[in-house]
Chains A and B, each alone.
Chain A
């Protein structure tokens, strides 16, 4: 079918220039290939249309094809009916969910610290030994969780999404939720397991982060996942205002740090948030938010050091209340972020915990000042913040800086103040990164960080990271 074109083109070329150079021949070949491609595509689409038209003729009452759902509504217009043309959509597999897979991994150079944590803050990992906090403390080559995302509209009223994270023989359900499409009046309902709407970074998955690791603040607040994940329900309302105003409330199990699983009726954690946002001119847009999270812990275990330097186990029972404030400002010349854009982002948190601490021996062979168990009051008030700026200076290159600081604040263990070392410290970290994206689906990043999150240690970290996303990759939040 394409031969005549090829022959004609060759003929024309050879007549025009008797001694065609190699470069010319290559150019002709390239053009013929292009022509072939275009014609193949046009012929294929025509064939498709023909097949469709025939099929439609045979089965008179036409079933609405899946992928062209909007067209189903438009059948009133005769034009639309004839142009609803994605042949594959008529197959049952057209209903398959959108699938995407995130590949992420890194090479990391840093100090060998046995049990990484943040001085002055209770480690969210509880009492993990040896490997410390997974992922953060791996030196050399390693891969992160491989995320499998499945999402689809369930019916006209609901949409569902599941994110499974796989690593080394374990599959973790990171998210598994349904969301309303049919309530209206600005109301959105979500149920299942989801990343809570508090803060700014909390809802973002690691592949969306602008740095290779989460800010210290998120690790201090929620541990390794750097996100508060709810098993519960979320209700949101967008106000009908010319600027963006949104309120949200959540109730959930609250089984993750800073709470613990409570085995009780009712809710273990509640969250509230409000977001405000708008544009300034055509080049700027922003969003600001405040959030509040309250959760309960029962015998939440963490390691402490007794006054003699022996490891002791502390069990906390009580309330944990966290306030968050977040702010994002994005700038792009004429609002076109493709060639250049800048993103400024900052968050602040303040957490208050009030309850009781039970201090025990971590290991019966190593008696501590708490041997036999010493109960006391427990009151802490801690805070922290980060600020970061990321500048995309060409379509492919971005560079960013982040500075962060935490404050171990007030830590009052009552009677146990005499038994335990009460660290008072201001962890700091400064990070610089540069990343390159071949397309919006692939990115490689080089990051340098000076991490002073552990007392007496200055850890200079180098990370070379890749993030690849395969398949139907959905839209990202602002």
Chain B
């Protein structure tokens, strides 16, 4: 009698603790808002982390909704890795607050913003929506400069170690191994992409500014008349007339952008329209971070030929 009531009490306690803490005890549960940071967390954490990617490469990261599934995942996360710089302003603040998870609130160690770890480009001097959907903290697509990935990885590995001190050494060595591989990969990409230097390009959205900055490509215009506003025929027409003076060699778009506008202008101007994976999963080749840059560089080189 006594033992059974004890057993019952134990079972109730076990059930309660399972309900309140979830099964997140074994690993560090990482909620990545975009695939690139999910991939980075996996590189650093290996089998010590469980990573959930809130979005995938075919979704425009600016247009995500606070879906019920995201709330459920955020509720159980130990660490939210966001791009930051207002990229997720349309959904993440709501998911953080409504998740009832105090650890992932802004200002807590469980909330990490990648863009805040590096120098950002395109920081607007004037904040006015007349300029379109501008980001006050600068361009948030920082991951397309691999040197940024390294800096962010360093900060992220420290944060992971802080949250999960039992595995701190694993995160440290995970980052070190990644950094070694990454540094030699950067050298390789820079060498391979050397012929691209000075090449003029058009872009669909300002999502490649860090990439063009890194490789020395010259951005000659965006198909969107203003950030976040879909290309209009009059704007494409003006880009086309500019093409005669300062010809661009190719037009870049992300896997999630519609292909119509870049195909149109490429056809008219006789240049190549290049679809870049933009993030992990954007193409079959971009299986991980290394694949992302391998494929990006290869696609650019192929179009430049």
Interface SS of chain A: mixed
Q: Is the CB of B154 within 8 A of A77?
A: yes
Q: Is the CB of A24 within 8 A of B20?
A: no
Q: Is the CB of B246 within 8 A of A31?
A: yes
Cα A387 to Cα B59 with chains together (Å)? 28
Cα A436 to Cα B67 with chains together (Å)? 24
Of A81-89, A213-221, A298-306, A404-412, the segment with at least 4 beta carbons within 8 Å of chain B is A81-89
Known: A23-B241, A338-B60. A275 touches B129 (CB 8 A): no
Cα A156 to Cα B96 with chains together (Å)? 13
* A334 interface residue (CB < 8 Å to B): yes
Chain A residue at minimum C-beta to C-beta distance from B96: A181
Q: Is the CB of A282 within 8 A of B56?
A: yes
Known: A245-B72, A277-B68, A282-B56. A79 touches B63 (CB 8 A): no
**Contact pick for B151, options A72, A79, A181, A338, CB 8 Å:** A79
Chain A residue at minimum C-beta to C-beta distance from B123: A45
**Contact pick for A70, options B68, B84, B242, CB 8 Å:** B84
Known: A70-B113, A74-B117. A184 touches B103 (CB 8 A): yes
Known: A182-B105, A336-B58. A83 touches B63 (CB 8 A): no
Q: Is the CB of B72 within 8 A of A478?
A: no
**In the complex, chain A residues whose CB is within 8 Å of the CB of B155:** 74, 77, 79-80
Chain B residue at minimum C-beta to C-beta distance from A40: B125
Q: Is the CB of A240 within 8 A of B21?
A: yes
Fill in one digit per residue for B91-127: 1 if any A CB lies within 8 Å of its CB, else 0. 1111001111111011111011100111111111100
Q: Is the CB of A475 within 8 A of B90?
A: yes
Interface SS of chain B: loop
Cα A159 to Cα B102 with chains together (Å)? 12
Query: B70: shortest Cβ distance to chain A, in Å?
Result: 8
Cα A67 to Cα B106 with chains together (Å)? 11
Q: Is the CB of B68 within 8 A of A287?
A: yes
Query: B207: shortest Cβ distance to chain A, in Å?
Result: 13
* B89 interface residue (CB < 8 Å to A): yes
Q: Is the CB of B118 within 8 A of A238?
A: no
Q: Is the CB of B97 within 8 A of A179?
A: yes
Chain B residue at minimum C-beta to C-beta distance from A28: B245
Fill in one digit per residue for A99-123: 1 if any B CB lies within 8 Å of its CB, else 0. 0000000000000000000000000
Q: Is the CB of B59 within 8 A of A335?
A: yes
Cα A239 to Cα B107 with chains together (Å)? 24
**In the complex, chain B residues whose CB is within 8 Å of the CB of A285:** 65, 67-69
* A244 interface residue (CB < 8 Å to B): yes
Cα A26 to Cα B19 with chains together (Å)? 66
Query: B116: shortest Cβ distance to chain A, in Å?
Result: 5
Q: Is the CB of A277 within 8 A of B69?
A: yes
Most buried by A among B59, B89, B162: B59
Chain A residue at minimum C-beta to C-beta distance from B108: A73
Q: Is the CB of A183 within 8 A of B102?
A: yes
Q: Is the CB of A337 within 8 A of B71?
A: no
**In the complex, chain B residues whose CB is within 8 Å of the CB of A13:** 245
**In the complex, chain B residues whose CB is within 8 Å of the CB of A74:** 112, 116-117, 155, 159
**In the complex, chain B residues whose CB is within 8 Å of the CB of A182:** 102, 105
A68-B116, A285-B68, A335-B59 given; name 8 further pairs at CB < 8 Å: A79-B118, A239-B19, A240-B21, A240-B75, A245-B72, A277-B67, A339-B258, A396-B230
Fill in one digit per residue for B167-210: 1 if any A CB lies within 8 Å of its CB, else 0. 00000000000000000000000000000000000000000000
Q: Is the CB of B228 within 8 A of A73?
A: no
* A242 interface residue (CB < 8 Å to B): yes
Known: A236-B100, A240-B21, A475-B90. A73 touches B107 (CB 8 A): yes
Chain B residue at minimum C-beta to C-beta distance from A240: B22
Q: A325-353: which have CB < 8 Å to B? A: 330, 334-339
Cα A187 to Cα B129 with chains together (Å)? 36
Q: Is the CB of B117 within 8 A of A83?
A: yes
Q: Is the CB of B106 within 8 A of A83?
A: no
* A380 interface residue (CB < 8 Å to B): no
Cα A23 to Cα B242 with chains together (Å)? 8
* B76 interface residue (CB < 8 Å to A): yes
**In the complex, chain B residues whose CB is within 8 Å of the CB of A246:** 71
Query: A396: shortest Cβ distance to chain B, in Å?
Result: 7
**17 pairs of residues in contact across A and B, judged by CB atoms under 8 Å:** A27-B242, A27-B245, A67-B137, A156-B108, A239-B19, A240-B24, A244-B68, A277-B68, A335-B56, A336-B63, A337-B63, A337-B65, A439-B133, A439-B228, A474-B94, A475-B90, A475-B91
Chain A residue at minimum C-beta to C-beta distance from B71: A244
* A477 interface residue (CB < 8 Å to B): yes
Fill in one digit per residue for A307-322: 1 if any B CB lies within 8 Å of its CB, else 0. 0000000000000000
Cα A83 to Cα B155 with chains together (Å)? 13
